[in-house]
Structure 1
Amino acid sequence: MKTKYIIYTALALLVAYLIYNKFFSEGAKKSAAAMASGKGDKKKGGGPVGVNVMIVKDTAVNNIIDITGTIDANEKVSLISQTAGNITGIYFNEGSKVTKGQLLVKVYNQDLEASLQQNQYQVALAKQQESRNRQLLQKEAISQEEYDTSLTALNSLKAAADVIKAQIARTEIRAPFSGIIGLRNVSPGSYLSPSSPIANLVNIDPAKVTFSVPERYLSILGPGSKIRFRTESSMENFTGTVYAIDPSIDASSRTITVRAKAPNPKGILTAGSFAKINLTLDQIPKTILLPTEAVIPDLKSSLVWIYHNGIAVSKPVKTDLRTDTKIQVIEGLQPGDSVVVSGLIQMRPKVPLKILKVIK
């Protein structure tokens, strides 16, 4: 029992000592006095926030939009025959260049050639008869009716010759324009009908680029507007010029179809591929551009943080055009304002700021 009382007494003395040392010792009194006078230690991190600022100035900027389009051939046709018959000759290589008027395929026409030759003999005889009758008419040896009959016979034979020549021409398939001919679907000796496709002929220099733009740009877009574009199959940058605009607006999408031509002397552009188009609409001579990260979206509008008299001040702004890295501010800022472009996550109203770098 005595041991138990001794332990309780020792614990009570220890607690009393700790309480005295905490609240009534000389060190505790000094600490309390320091806290009361405000001279105690403060937490670190209460200094100004270091930021980079950008001095606002008027900048000339091109009004550019990024859209997608389709590359088309300047001219494209599926070659077919106007007459039926066996193919007697193929005069092109697949994938080769051909010129306008070049003979590509020939269909059997010997019967027509024979008919034409027979007709030529008849025409020669009719010419002689007409010449004799004309002389006799001048001597009043025959009547006008007899001469007219011989003249009509001659003209009828000439017309028949023209018909045969047209039929012969239809047995020769020629290139309607210069370009590159594709893979052939026929062989020598096969029977060719008017519904049988022979090959595709494509002219893709220049290439046509077809795309759609929103209705709002109709008033500032026209023939002569320049475009820049790239394709998935090439790392080159291509240029084109708008030459035609569809006269009607698509009612469902409220867009208008535009077509441009792009030089393609090397044949790099391929019909049917997609084009990533950079379209320059006009130039804005004076406007304010800020880095995209400096403009913070808000519920009703957007805002930026301004360095003003050493503290952070928020300003609502109105924006318009955007690029990959910049955004146009059309209301809320004036040239000379210092916009905070870094440390934005620490921004609060009236937070002290320290400028680390000025971007002009």
Structure 2
Amino acid sequence: MRPLIIAAAIILLLILGKIFFWSSDSEKESGKPGDKKMIMGGKPGEMKPIMVKTITVGLDNSDKTVFSSGTTVANEEVELKSEISGIITKLNIPEGKMVAKGFLIAKIKDDDIVAQLRKIELEEKLAAQIEARQRKLLDINAISKEEFEISQNKVLTLKADKDLLKVQLAKTEIRAPFAGKIGLKNISLGAYVTPATVITSLVQFNPIKLDFTIPEKYLNSIVLGKTIKFQTDGSLDERTASIVAVDPKIDETMRTLKVRALSNNSSNTLLPGMFIKVFINLGSTQSVMIPTETVIPVVDGKKVFVKRNGKAEEIKIETGLRNASSLQVLKGLNVGDSLITSGLMTLKAGTPVFTKK
């Protein structure tokens, strides 16, 4: 048994020795200068040039358009409440329907006010008769002027009381302050309401307002009456609106300016609260425009690669407006530069590059 163990150990050592020598030979072969040249593509240490596509940077006559987003806002909107407390005796709320200005929406019980008004009217009539008689007596000096003035003041006081009751009576009616669409009904007939009770809502959205923001650097380009275009979310139809107001202050946090526009909505297809995309054309200008896919975002801004002297050169750029496929370059690129448009993810500063002729 012992000779067999010794023989097995010798065979194992021979196998391990053979593997070691094979590994050494492979490393020597891979370290030959000729092989390194095949991997690196040139002299030892040189990188293999990468084939890229380029375009020549030039000026493009393009529309200067500012893109923004915003919200549709009702032209007029109000929660309808009562000025006084009482029981609802009449309720007329056609939910979701258009109503005219002055439309009677609700009526509060007014029996006590009507009774007081009748009483005052009778007292006023009697006081007026007494005043008329005393005026005749005053004309013949049968009474003093002071007595006549007392009866005259009585008539005036009762008239003022009557006017006050008429005002209170008018407050028992809740009417539409403007033409618009009635909201949902929040109460029922016979309910007791207070000035805090929301009976329903009324919204007018023709025309409809558009509220959006723009960067402060475009402040001088926004003028009242300027026409803008906008789209609602999920729609490709473009609509127009006219700028009617600009907020007099800048948002210090976002460095933006709030703008309001007005658009015709006779079809009533736009509702308050809808998301919109806004396009503001600031005119046509000549500037450096490059494909958006050539721009690489980095921590401190944006960069591109250009081909110079057979190598890729990294350039930091400042950008401006953008359209569907291009981005405006404000600083960093010059007319005539060879902008690299392919293989961007494999490039770094100094990488040898070439273009296919």
Normalised by the size of structure 1, how large is the TM-score?
A: 0.71
Q: Is the 8 A contact 2:52 2:353 kept in 1?
A: no
Q: Which residue number in structure 1 is paired with residue 244 of structure 2?
A: 243
SS at match of 1:236: coil
Q: Which runs of 5+ in 1 are unaligned?
A: 1-48, 355-360
1:152-191 → structure 2 map (5 Å cutoff):
152-191=153-192
State the 1:206 CA deviation. Answer: 1.8
For 1:170 and 1:284, the matched residues in 2 are separated by: 58
1:1-360 → structure 2 map (5 Å cutoff):
56-66=58-68, 68-232=69-233, 234-280=235-281, 282-293=282-293, 302-303=303-304, 318-321=317-320, 322-330=322-330, 332-334=333-335, 337=336, 351=354, 353-354=356-357
For 1:276 and 1:270, the matched residues in 2 are separated by: 15
Letter in 2 for 1:292: T
Q: CA RMSD in A?
A: 3.4
For 2:215 and 2:341, the matched residues in 1 are separated by: 35
Q: 1:268 to 1:152 in 2, by over 3 A?
A: same
Q: Is the 8 A contact 2:57 2:334 kept in 1?
A: no
Q: Cα deviation per residue 1:42-79 (whole Å; 9 max; x = unaligned)? A: xxxxxxx896856834414223123x222221111111
- Which region of structure 1 is more displaced relative to structure 2, 262-271 or 93-102? 262-271
Q: Is the 8 A contact 2:225 2:242 kept in 1?
A: yes
Q: Percent identity?
A: 34
Q: 1:353 to 1:338 in 2, by over 3 A?
A: farther
Q: 1:219 to 1:230 in 2, by over 3 A?
A: same
Q: Which runs of 5+ in 2 are unaligned?
A: 1-50
SS at match of 1:166: helix
Q: Is the 8 A contact 2:74 2:205 kept in 1?
A: yes
Q: 1:205 to 1:341 in 2, by over 3 A?
A: farther
Q: 1:344 to 1:333 in 2, by over 3 A?
A: farther
For 2:161 and 2:246, the matched residues in 1 are separated by: 47
State the 1:265 CA deviation. Answer: 1.4
State the 1:104 CA deviation. Answer: 0.6
SS at match of 2:127: helix
For 1:307 and 1:59, the matched residues in 2 are separated by: 26
Normalised by the size of structure 2, how large is the TM-score?
A: 0.71
In the alignment of these two chains, the number of paired residues is 302
For 1:180 and 1:154, the matched residues in 2 are separated by: 45
Letter in 1 for 2:238: N
State the 1:304 CA deviation. Answer: 6.3
Letter in 1 for 2:184: L
For 2:264 and 2:127, the matched residues in 1 are separated by: 56
Q: Which residue number in structure 2 is paired with residue 19 of structure 1?
A: none
For 1:168 and 1:300, the matched residues in 2 are separated by: 68
- Which region of structure 1 is more displaced relative to structure 2, 233-242 or 262-271? 233-242
For 1:287 and 1:121, the matched residues in 2 are separated by: 85
Letter in 2 for 1:193: T
For 2:205 and 2:109, the matched residues in 1 are separated by: 32
SS at match of 1:131: helix
Q: Is the 8 A contact 2:52 2:354 kept in 1?
A: no
Q: 1:236 to 1:297 in 2, by over 3 A?
A: closer
For 1:352 and 1:185, the matched residues in 2 are separated by: 73
